Amino acid sequence: MKHSRQSHHVFYATTSVERLYSIFIGPLIVIIFIVLVLKFLPLASSHEKLISFSDLFVASGHTLVRLLIAYFFALICALPIALVATYNKFTEKVFLPMFDILESIPVLAFFPIIILFFINMNFLNGAAIFILFLSMLWNIVFTVVGGLKIIPRDIRSASKVFGITGWSYFKQVLIPAVFPEIVTGSILAFAQGWNLIIVAEVIHTYIPSGVASQDLTGIGSILVHASASGQTDLFVACIGVMIIVIAFFNYFIWQSLIHYAQRFKFE
């Protein structure tokens, strides 16, 4: 099912040149600055262990895996939540205000309780993933809700005429119709996850009598420890590696999906 929606004058980088420009020019300027700074600063050690750039990329891999797992669960939960909320006028009146309140509650307010639950299971990674999941969920839910509400009536009517119901309707009509909103919500969700990753990985501050050794391996925890210990070179290096990882992920994943989603926009 192929749609084309009006973009409301929003610019999307679609060609390779536009994508390179929009994704790499800004980060490249920052990276050049970081390289110049690091030229005069030796990469420091942390906890008496030398940390190399390869170690930072490995730590970024741990962080990225947590984000991807949290995003996967947020996506599969957001779709049915959005469908239930927009099922009819009654569900909209009941669920949308409720979801709006839940979205407004800071997710970190639940973090101490979440950690206590997962620490009893000896699964601190689960605490980080769950808090990331909560931070991502509502970004996807509300963008999908918006997409469901603007599906043209003739699209819905045509599906009824051709007997497209149940799973076929979900797969052939709803998912293509809201695919651009899924991509938009996913980008916002991942950005929220990156913003929260520092807190999610540095969890000892939320554990009674917690110690730094309980923190999770990841670029966020290294960044915090470098800042707390005054290791400017390591801190700057972490920022540089994060920018590189985010830029590559945006270019090869999100920009490709934005380009693909254009074919599903309604006009």
Report the topology of domain 3-266.
MetI-like fold (1.10.3720)
pLDDT at 47 over 70: no
Residue 242 has which token pair?
């994060």
Extents of the domains making up the chain: 3-266
Looking at the whole model, is its pTM more than 0.85? no
pLDDT in tens, 82-106: 999 998 889 999 999 999 998 888 8
pLDDT in tens, 164-176: 777 888 888 888 8
% of the chain with per-residue pLDDT over 90: 35
pLDDT at 181 over 90: yes
